[in-house]
Amino acid sequence: MAFPRLTFHGAARSVTGSCFRLETDAGEVLIDAGLFQGPKTEKELNYRRFPFAVDRIAAVILSHAHIDHSGLLPKLVRDGFSGAIHATPPTTDLAEVMLPDSAHIQEMEVEQLNRRNAHRNRAPVEPIYTGADAEASLRLFRPVPYDRWFAVLPGLRARFWNAGHLLGSASVEIEIAQPEPAAPLRLLFSGDIGPDYKLLHPDPEGPSGVDYLVCEATYGDTDRKDASAERRRTLLRDEVRAAIHPNGSLLIPSFAVERAQELISDLSRLMADGALPTIPIYVDSPLATKATRVFAEHARELEDGATLLQGLKSRHIQFTETLEQSKALDRLRGFHIVIAASGMCEAGRIRHRLRNWLWREQATVLLVGYQAVGTLGRFLQEGARSVRIQGEEFTVRARIRSIDLYSGHADGPELVKWIGQRRPLAHELFLVHGEDDAIAALAARLDGIVDAAHVLAPVLDESFELSAAGAVRLPGAAAPRLPADRVARLDWHNDVSRLLLDVSEALAALPDEKTRDVLIRRLRRALEDGGSNAAPEAADTRRPRR
C-alpha cells in the first residue's frame, strides 16, 4: 500500500454511526465505532456484519462517549477485536456507564420484541450485543490526556485536542510517518465540535496546517443569532412559564450525558434567582444519574463546574433509578418537570412518559437537541398530529416546543471559524456527520476559505487514498451497505406507520358504519391484489409527517 487509505463507514451524509477506518502499512485503525440511529433501514446496519475484517483492526481511537460514536465498540469486541481503545480519561469514565447502559437497552428491547414476535409466530432475534460484551470492551480502554502524543501503531501516533462538545470530547490529530525526506502526513478528525457559548466547556481547540481534515457538519445550515448563556436561560425560563399548568407536566427529552446536566444547572439557577417558581424536577434516567456522578467527579476540569455542583445540591431535583420509581411519575399531581432519555425519543423512559402525556393538552414536550430524520422526536418537531409508539397510536395534543441553544454542536458560522483556524489545509476537507442540506450549506459558507474543489462529502463505505498530492477516490470493492439516496431518509417502515395512522384518521372521520365498511373493503381488495394495480410513482422520502 503506497499511501494510507481512509474509508467512511458511518456518519456519511447522515449524523449517526460515526466510524472511519484508516489503513496503513503498519495496520488498520478505527476512529470511532458508533451506533446508527433514525429510520429502521439505517438502524438495521447495527445488526449486520462489519464491512471490514475485524481481526485486521489493530486499535480504536475514540473521540468521545456519545453512543453514535462509541455504541458499536461492544459488538466490535464480540466479533474478535482485542486491541487498545484510546480515549481521554473522562471519556473512559463515561464509557463505563454508557456502554453497559446501551447493552441493557439492546437486551431489554429485544426481549420485548421477541415477546411480540412469539405472539405473531415470528422467529426470535438476538441483541446487537450483551452486557458481557460491553464489560469486555471496557477492559480495552487506554486513557490518554489531552495534548499528549501517544503511539498507536509503528509509524502512527495521535493526540487529543479539547473539542468543547462533551466532557472528555476530543478532536483527533494523527501523524503517519512517510519515507524520508518527506514530512509525516497529518490528519485531523474534528469529532463533534462544541459551540462557543457551551455551559461547561471552553471553546474548541485544534492544530493548524494539517494535510487532511475530516469535519462534522451537523448544523452547517444553521445560524444561531444572539446565542449566549443568558439568552439560553431566558428562552428556557419563558418555555417553562408557558408550560405551567395546575395538572400538567413539562417533558424534556434529553441526552442523559451533558444535556441533562446542563438543564439541571440552568433550571436550578433560574429557581434560585427567582426567575421561576419552585418546581419539582425529576431526572428519569438511571444513565443520567450515573453520568451526573461522573460529571461531579470531573467538576474541576469543567469551565463552570461550580454551577453544576450547586445545581446538583438543589432540594428540588430528584433522580429516579428503579423502574418502580419511574412508573410512579405517572401518578404525580401538580405541575412538574421530567427530564428523560433519549434525546430523540427513540428509546428509554421518555417513551413511557410520552405514552402517558402526549395525548393531553396540559402537557408540553420541549425538544432541546438535534432530531435526526426518522426519529420520533423529528416527527413531533415537524408537527405530527398522531404518532405510533411501540405499536400503539397516540394523538398529539401536547404542546411541542423546541430550543436549539442547548445543542452540543457548533452552528454554521462557528464551524467555518473553526475550519478557518486549521489552515493552511494542504489537501482535502471531508464533510461528515451531517445531512445533505447541512453539508451543502456549510460547503457554500466555506467559499473563499477552502477551495471548493477540495471540499468532499463522502457517501457510506466510500474510500479514498490519501496521497502526498491529494485525495484519490477509490472504486468500491463492493456496493455500499446502503445507497446514498437511502441514507438519512424516511423508509418504508415510516410509510407503513404513517399509512396506519392515516387509515385510522380517515375511518374515524367517516359519518357512519356503512361508509366505513366500503373503505375497509377497498383496502382489503388492494391488499389482496398485492399492489399489482398500484401506480409506480416515486415516493418523496423526505416529506414531513403530518
Highest mean pLDDT pick, 38-52, 64-78, 193-207, 531-545: 64-78
On the question of pLDDT at 540 being above 70, the answer is no
**Residue 173: left if φ>0, alpha if ψ -120 to 50, beta else—which one?**
beta
Q: Which helix (H) or strand (E) holds 237?
A: helix 229-243
Q: Angle at Cα 347 formed by Cα 342 and Cα 349, nearest 5°?
A: 70
Q: What is the pLDDT of residue 344?
A: 87
Q: What is the pLDDT of residue 477?
A: 60
Q: What is the pLDDT of residue 346?
A: 82
pTM: 0.84
Q: What is the pLDDT of residue 539?
A: 41
On the question of pLDDT at 538 being above 60, the answer is no
Give per-residue pLDDT as tens, 192-223: 999 987 777 888 999 999 999 999 999 999 99
Q: Work out the pLDDT band at 531, boundaries 50, 70, 90.
A: low
Pick the CATH number of 5-222+408-486 from 3.60.15.10, 3.40.50.2300, 3.40.190.10, 3.10.129.10: 3.60.15.10
On the question of pLDDT at 275 being above 90, the answer is yes
On the question of pLDDT at 132 being above 70, the answer is yes
Percent share of the chain, pLDDT over 90: 60
Q: Rounding to the nearest 10 degrees, give the CA dihedral for residues 357, 373, 70, 481.
A: 140
- Looking from the CA of 220 toward its CB, the CA atoms found within 13 Å total 27
CA 220, CA 47: separation in Å to the nearest integer?
A: 30
More confident residue, 19 or 512: 19
Q: Are 95 and 68 in contact (CB under 8 A)?
A: no
Quote the DSSP letter at residue 225. T
Q: What is the pLDDT of residue 546?
A: 31
Q: Work out the pLDDT band at 362, boundaries 50, 70, 90.
A: very high
**105-132 as b/e, with b when 16 or more CB fall inside 10 Å?**
bbbebbeeebeeeeeeeeeeeebbbbbe
N-term to C-term CA, the chain: 52
Q: Are 372 and 344 in contact (CB under 8 A)?
A: yes
Percent share of the chain, pLDDT over 70: 94
Domain 229-402 has CATH 3.40.50.10890: yes
Beta bridge partners of 170: 162
Concatenated DSSP letters of 372-384: -TTSHHHHHHTT-
Beta bridge partners of 250: 337, 364
**408-447 as b/e, with b when 16 or more CB fall inside 10 Å?**
bbbbbbbbbebbeebeebbbbbbbbbbbbebbbbbbebbe
More confident residue, 31 or 318: 31
Could you state, in order of their start, the residue ranges of all structural domains in the chain? 5-222+408-486, 229-402, 492-528
Helix runs in 301-347, H state only: 305-312, 323-328
* CATH topology identical between 5-222+408-486 and 229-402: no
On the question of pLDDT at 363 being above 90, the answer is yes
CA 4, CA 470: separation in Å to the nearest integer?
A: 11
- The cell for 78 is 464480540
Q: In what order do the strands lie in the sheet with 84-87?
A: 141-143, 84-87, 57-61, 27-31, 20-24, 5-8, 462-467, 470-474
Pairing of strands 156-162, 150-153: antiparallel
Q: What is the pLDDT of residue 5?
A: 97
Q: What is the CA radius of gyration of the chain?
A: 24
Quote the DSSP letter at residue 391. T
